């Protein structure tokens, strides 16, 4: 019963002090080579290149599972009534997708037409002034807010102002070949001569740097102003055309340290709205 174990013990007793023929000198070159490869990978990221190459080589094998699944499903549904139903569903889904695309295209056309209508209504206010149209190609928010507009005319000059369907939205920042950069009216560097449409008092509004928000510069404490007053461009200084709505007074703050009121004006003009921009002389 224990014969096997005795034999094993005998072998073990004779083997316990025996070592193999393996010598460390055979082991060193392999370990040196491995350390060299490790250094190469650490320095030059060899492994990621090998991984990319191997994933490219083995990519067909990764598809095998999906291919087999698809083949099985096709085969399984081919002889069943499900096939007809599934084909019909796919056809109807495609039709729905096409109709959705058409609907989207029509909505875009409608928006463009409304925008052009608004712009041409705006044109009536310009009387005899020349107007030019441009197509919005880009809108940048950083580092400063800008709208890039493409035009085909060379008659646009740097003193012109820009309108979108809402109204006056900015001034020309830079003229480039066939394109124009527009700076928003709410930019902190812009000052617009304006007047209160109720009292006809002239004021200057300055941009705050925040969209749709302005401040009236140095408005005296004894001046007549109320929340909700309409502020329109006065046309003074010939920089901006007269009579265009710039916003409404939304906040009036009094400061004991100052002789002036802090008057906030806001409008609803979206600087980045629309696809067409209208340029005109002031």
Partner 1 sequence: MNSLDDKKPSIFNFYFFVGLTLIIASIIEVLLNDFFLSRLTLPLTLMTLVYWNVATPRSIGFFWTMLSGFILDIFLGYLLGIHVVIFLLTSYFSQRYFHRFRALFRLQQSLIVAVIVFIYQIYFILISNNFSLSITFELLILTIISSLFWPIIYGALRYLRIKLTYGQ
- Asked if residue 234 lies in contact with residue 194, where contact means CB atoms within 8 angstroms, the answer is yes
CA 75 to chain centre: 45
Beta-bridged to residue 168, according to DSSP, are: 163
Candidates 31-39, 203-211, 260-268, 272-280; binding stretch for partner 1 (CB under 8 A)? 31-39
C-alpha to C-alpha distance for 273 and 139, rounded to whole angstroms: 10
Angstrom CA distances, 60 to 47, 50, 72, 167, 258, stand at: 21, 17, 18, 58, 76
Which of residues 38 and 176 has its CB atom nearest to partner 1 in the complex? 38
- Residue 33 near partner 1 by CB under 8 A: yes
- Residue 27 near partner 1 by CB under 8 A: yes
3-state secondary structure of 110: helix
- CB 154 to partner 1: min, Å: 59
- CB 73 to partner 1: min, Å: 24
- Residue 22 near partner 1 by CB under 8 A: yes
- Residue 68 near partner 1 by CB under 8 A: no
Which of residues 24 and 200 has its CB atom nearest to partner 1 in the complex? 24
Contacts of 277 (CB under 8 A, 6+ apart): 133, 134, 135, 136, 147, 149, 162, 163, 164, 169, 182
CA-based diameter of the chain, in Å? 121
- Residue 46 near partner 1 by CB under 8 A: yes
- CB 7 to partner 1: min, Å: 10
Which position among 51, 69, 83, 220 is part of the footprint of partner 1 (CB under 8 A)?
A: 51
- Residue 52 near partner 1 by CB under 8 A: no
Alpha-carbon torsion (106, 109, 115, 117), positive or negative: negative
C-alpha to C-alpha distance for 148 and 195, rounded to whole angstroms: 30
Which of residues 61 and 142 has its CB atom nearest to partner 1 in the complex? 61
Binding string, 81-100, against partner 1, x = CB under 8 A? --------------------
Q: Pick the closest to residue 183 from 153, 141, 237, 151 (CA basis).
A: 141
Which position among 1, 2, 6, 24 is part of the footprint of partner 1 (CB under 8 A)?
A: 24
Q: Tell me which residues touch partner 1 (CB under 8 A).
A: 5, 8, 11-12, 14-16, 18-22, 24, 26-27, 30-31, 33-35, 37-38, 40-42, 46-47, 50-51, 54
């Amino acid at each position: 019963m224990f014969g096997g174990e005795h034999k094993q013990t005998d072998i073990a007793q004779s083997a316990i002090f025996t070592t193999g023929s393996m010598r460390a000198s055979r082991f060193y070159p392999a370990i040196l080579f491995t350390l060299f490869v490790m250094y190469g990978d650490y320095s030059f990221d060899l492994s990621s290149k090998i991984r990319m190459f191997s994933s490219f080589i083995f990519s067909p094998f990764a598809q095998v599972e999906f291919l087999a699944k698809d083949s099985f499903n096709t085969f399984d549904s081919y002889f069943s009534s499900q096939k007809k139903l599934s084909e019909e569903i796919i056809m109807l889904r495609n039709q729905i997708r096409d109709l959705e695309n058409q609907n989207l295209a029509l909505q875009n056309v409608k928006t463009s037409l409304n925008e052009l209508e608004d712009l041409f209504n705006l044109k009536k206010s310009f009387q005899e002034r020349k107007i030019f149209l441009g197509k919005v190609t880009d809108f940048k928010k950083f580092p400063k807010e800008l709208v890039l507009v493409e035009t085909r005319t060379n008659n646009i000059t740097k003193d012109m102002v820009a309108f979108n369907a809402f109204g006056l939205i900015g001034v020309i920042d830079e003229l480039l070949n066939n394109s124009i950069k527009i700076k928003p009216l709410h930019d902190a560097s812009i000052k617009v001569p304006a007047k209160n449409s109720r009292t006809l008092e002239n004021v200057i509004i300055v941009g705050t740097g925040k969209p749709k928000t302005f401040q009236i510069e140095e408005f005296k404490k004894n001046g007549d102003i109320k929340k909700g007053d309409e502020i329109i461009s006065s046309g003074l200084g010939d920089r901006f055309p007269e009579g265009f709505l710039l916003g409404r007074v939304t906040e009036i703050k009094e400061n004991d340290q100052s002789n002036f009121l802090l008057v906030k004006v806001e409008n609803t003009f979206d600087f980045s709205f629309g696809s067409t921009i209208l340029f005109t002389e002031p």
